[in-house]
Amino acid sequence: MSDELKDEMRKLKEQIAAMKDQLKQMADEQRPKGRGIYIDIPSPVRDYVEDAMQGVAEGVHGELERSIFIGPRGCRIMRHGPPEGEEPEEKVSFDKVAAVMSALGHEHRLKILSELMSGGKYVNELQEKLSEITTSTLSSHLNVLEEAGLVVQEKVRGRYLVTIPGRTAYKMARRVTRFLEMRDQE
């Protein structure tokens, strides 16, 4: 082999080595950090799989959120939808939904619900806690909440209590707000 040919071969080998290094570097950049099995899937397929997996994960998470209530004293599993063989549940009318949302739709009323979440209270106790609300306004807000079924007043002692729908509605409003706040932070 002539010196000229040997020189040509050496240059080619160097070029191949450089290309290998380049490919390795590109592969390293795409490989996720950490240990584990990595399968290099072409990008469109990977995107599709990732989307599908995310959808499944969100679905499972949502179902768990809806079905399992985990409280300080254990968990409670709730059944959704009509039992087998029964007629599907009648749809809730939007005007009723709007009435409940309207009752929730005031900062003062949310504060009242928040106070009642820790237990039944008399009007004067609420007044003490919510000093920024005048007595007549407080009374009016309590009427709105009571009419919507979110609170109930004892007729003998006069305490106000949050109902199960009231507690659920308050938690729902807080959860939606928290979700929106998290979205805004992203």
Partner 1 sequence: MILQHYELDDTVMRTTEPEVLLKTEKSLVEVDKDTLAVAVKSEGQPRGFVFQGKGRLVLDTIVETDEGAIGEPIERELDKPFLVLGDVAKSDRSLTVAAKEDLEKAGYADQKQFLEKAGSVLDRFGGRGKINDCGCSGEGGNSVFAFQNETGKLDLLVVSRSRLVYKASDVIFVADGDKTILKNPRHIALSKPHRYITHCT
Footprint on this chain of partner 1 (rule: CB under 8 A): 71, 73, 120, 152-157, 161-168
Q: Which is nearer to partner 1, 138 or 150 (CB)?
A: 150
Closest residue by Cα to residue 160 from 148, 144, 146, 171 = 146
Answer for the pair 164, 171: CB distance below 8 angstroms, yes or no.
no
Q: Which is nearer to partner 1, 18 or 117 (CB)?
A: 117
Strand partners, 71: 74
Q: To the nearest whole angstrom, how small is the minimum distance from the Cβ of residue 159 to partner 1? A: 9
Q: Which is nearer to partner 1, 129 or 167 (CB)?
A: 167
Q: To the nearest whole angstrom, how small is the minimum distance from the Cβ of residue 155 to partner 1? A: 4
Q: To the nearest whole angstrom, how small is the minimum distance from the Cβ of residue 154 to partner 1? A: 4
CA distance linking residue 138 with residue 109, whole number of Å: 8
152: helix, strand or coil: strand
Q: To the nearest whole angstrom, how small is the minimum distance from the Cβ of residue 165 to partner 1? A: 7
Answer for the pair 109, 141: CB distance below 8 angstroms, yes or no.
yes
Q: Which is nearer to partner 1, 62 or 119 (CB)?
A: 119
Please name the amino acid found at residue 86: E
